[in-house]
Amino acid sequence: MEELNAKEIINFFISKIYFIVIFIIIFAAAGYFYFAHIQTPRYHSSTTIILVSEKEDTNASNLNLNKQLVSTYSEIVKNRSVLNKVINKLDLNISAQKLAKDISVTSINDTEIIKIEVSNKNKKLARDIAEEVAITFISEVNDIYNLQNVTILSQPQIENTPYNVSIVKQTALSGFTGLFISTIIVFLIYYFDTTIKSTETIENKAKLTVLGTVEKVKINGNK
């Protein structure tokens, strides 16, 4: 493999600085246009539900039972029967399978609390779906297990800030992408360029001493 000359590489990159800058500007502008005008903003809305004892008895056995039920209940939240009822209630034009992709269910640490988070391009609808999923799920648990040990801990709210849009951050990342790609292109151009770029190159490759050079002469204003 041909030995690379760090000084030559630096000088070559400096000579191509305008190309790199233009690449960065193009990518940053394209990124800004896409994220500001094309990408569809999506919003999160979440609610939390908690498992409680049916009676006032909150001994260790009941608490452990509730913790064991958390994983089971988390699956029921995204069950087709629950989601179909939500779809019918809110008159949604969407399949249960697609709606399930917009819903995430997680247990909070090692607690009896389950968090239901909904993603949607309509911030109000995201709130409505999160609320209806929680209500329908509680009703479903009552029907399946004949238990009333689930209650809503926090109501979902309308979030006005989309979670998938950050113009400044995404534009900067687009600019860095342009920098990375243009750097690779410039390096490849340098690496596969077989022309002699300096007298040092001749001396290093041919092991000869350069006695003199002929500079470009301007004739009638032209080089």
Q: How far apart are CA 109 and CA 196, in angstroms?
A: 64
Tally of domains within the chain: 2
What pLDDT is attached to residue 46?
A: 95
What pLDDT is attached to residue 7?
A: 78
124 in the same domain as 74: yes
Q: What is the pTM of this model?
A: 0.67
User: How large is the average pLDDT for residues 171-184?
Assistant: 95
What pLDDT is attached to residue 219?
A: 62
User: How large is the average pLDDT for residues 60-78?
Assistant: 68
* Residues of the domain holding 150: 43-154
The CATH number of residue 92's host domain is 3.30.70.1130
110 in the same domain as 96: yes
Query: Quick one: tokens of 31?
Result: 């990124």
For the segment 106-143, what is each residue's pLDDT rounded down to a tens digit? 888 777 888 999 999 999 999 999 999 999 999 988 88
The proportion of the chain whose per-residue pLDDT surpasses 70, expressed as a percent, equals: 77
Q: How far apart are CA 198 and CA 206, in angstroms?
A: 13
